[in-house]
Amino acid sequence: MTDLSVDLGFIKLKNPVLTASGTFGYGIEFKPFVDLNKLGGFIVKGLYFEPREGNPPPRLVETASGLINAIGLQGIGVKRFAEEILPQLRSYDTALIVNVCGDEDQEYAAVVDYLDRHEGISAYELNISCPNTKREGRCPALNPLTTQAVVKLVKESSSRPVITKLSPNVTDIVEIALSAQEGGSDGLSLANTFLALAVDVEKRIPKLSNIFGGLSGPAIKPLTLRMVYQVVSRVKIPVIGVGGIMTGRDALEYLITGAKAVEVGTANFVDPQSTLRVIQDLEDFCKSHRIERVEDTIGSLIVRDRE
């Protein structure tokens, strides 16, 4: 029997497979396909304090092995979530992580403050890296000072662990990761989508109404994996790898590189049972390679000295 559990320090997961926010609805949408109890945990769609309209369509464009989205975090707001959705999710024996959004730092703190008064949440994932809500992808995660400030503020008002989801659209990911750690973040999700553009050559217009969107899917996996590599050796807090995971082998690339857990995202749209398949793949890999604990794969990457 393979032990798939992983310990992030602030939370223990029955396996390393989580769902990426924005690709798994509020969880209940997937109840027909996935026994939520089997997941390491699930991260629900980003919540602002108030309900949010989102961007006009077109919101999606498919590119080579990838998907550019500019949904703009349409959502029901924290009150409806707490009243209507949360009671349906509490009974599951898995970690529920709520993705928290804000237009201003104070809004993140307000969402966390509101949710802190409700039972059944394991941790928060701070979404300071959505590229679709402000012009040209601006967000706190592009700058170490704004990153540290918002993390610090949220940590002060939160009674639960905080994972900070970073943006890949930066020159030096290590600098931002260190600033989130400095702000008190308990963990990092690496990373959000890549700021991207697609053009309709007939009409000569951007294919998305928002002009830019965030690229996800298998196309980005080598890029986020590289960032995980760069960050894990420099921070003390656990890193969760997210970007382009379709199979157990994709997840293993992140784990071997040093991620303590992974989030499955775009794959959920293609195959709503992707998470279960990834978990099964991981178990099969461990069995066939005589690995007793999946944790033994974490950070096992062998890099020969370049000198």
Partner 1 sequence: MGRLLLILEKNSDIFVLAIESIIMHNELGALIVQKQTWKDYFLFRIRGKHIAQESQPGQFIMLRPTKSLHPLLRRPFSIHSVLNDCLEIFFLKSGIGTTLLSQMYEGNSVDILGPLGKGFFLDRELQGKRVALVGGGRGIAPLYFLAQKLLDLGALPHIFYGGKTLSDLPLKQKFAQKNHKISISTDDGSIGFKGLITDLFQLELDNIMPSYIYACGPEAMMEKIARIAEKMAIPAEFSLESIMGCGFGACWGCVRRIKSDTREEWVKICEEGPVFSGHQIIWHDEES
Both structure tokens of 186: 């308990």
Q: Judged by CB under 8 A, does residue 10 bind partner 1? A: no
The single residue among 5, 10, 38, 74 that binds partner 1, judged by CB under 8 A, is: 74
Residue 159: CB minimum distance to partner 1, A: 27
SS3 call for 183: helix
Please give the order of strands across the beta sheet that includes 66-69.
60-63, 66-69, 212-216, 194-197
Q: Judged by CB under 8 A, does residue 130 bind partner 1? A: no
CA distance 177 to 166: 7
The single residue among 6, 43, 44, 61 that binds partner 1, judged by CB under 8 A, is: 61
Q: Which is nearer to partner 1, 15 or 132 (CB)?
A: 132
Residue 266: CB minimum distance to partner 1, A: 7
The single residue among 15, 21, 23, 179 that binds partner 1, judged by CB under 8 A, is: 23
Q: Which is nearer to partner 1, 42 or 114 (CB)?
A: 42
Give the H/E segment covering residue 187.
Answer: strand 187-190
Q: Taking the CB of residue 123, how many other CB atoms lie within 10 A of it? A: 21
Q: For residue 197, what are the contacts with CB-CB under 8 A and spacing of at least 6?
A: 68, 206, 208, 211, 212, 213
Provide the mask over 187-226, with x wherever binding to partner 1 is found by CB under 8 A and - wherever it is not.
------------------------------xx--------
Is residue 252 within 8 A of residue 262, CB to CB? The reply is no
Q: For residue 189, what are the contacts with CB-CB under 8 A and spacing of at least 6?
A: 125, 163, 164, 165, 166, 239, 240, 242, 263
Length of the chain: 307
Q: Judged by CB under 8 A, does residue 64 bind partner 1? A: yes
Residue 209: CB minimum distance to partner 1, A: 10
CA distance 138 to 221: 22
- Name the nearest CA neighbour of 80 among 54, 121, 47: 47
The yes-or-no answer on residue 286 being catalytic is: no
The single residue among 38, 80, 118, 160 that binds partner 1, judged by CB under 8 A, is: 80
Burial class (CB in 10 A: 0-12, 13-18, 19+), 143: middle
Q: Which is nearer to partner 1, 74 or 106 (CB)?
A: 74
Residue 201: CB minimum distance to partner 1, A: 14
The single residue among 2, 3, 5, 28 that binds partner 1, judged by CB under 8 A, is: 28
Residue 62: CB minimum distance to partner 1, A: 5
The single residue among 50, 106, 235, 269 that binds partner 1, judged by CB under 8 A, is: 269
Q: Judged by CB under 8 A, does residue 62 bind partner 1? A: yes
Is residue 174 within 8 A of residue 234, CB to CB? The reply is yes
Provide the mask over 40-59, with x wherever binding to partner 1 is found by CB under 8 A and - wherever it is not.
-----x-------xx-xxxx
Cα atoms in the 13 Å half-sphere on the side-chain side of 7: 4
Residues that bind partner 1 (CB under 8 A): 22-26, 28-33, 45, 53-54, 56-62, 64-67, 69, 71, 74, 76, 80, 84-85, 88, 217-218, 246, 266, 268-273
Catalytic residues: 130
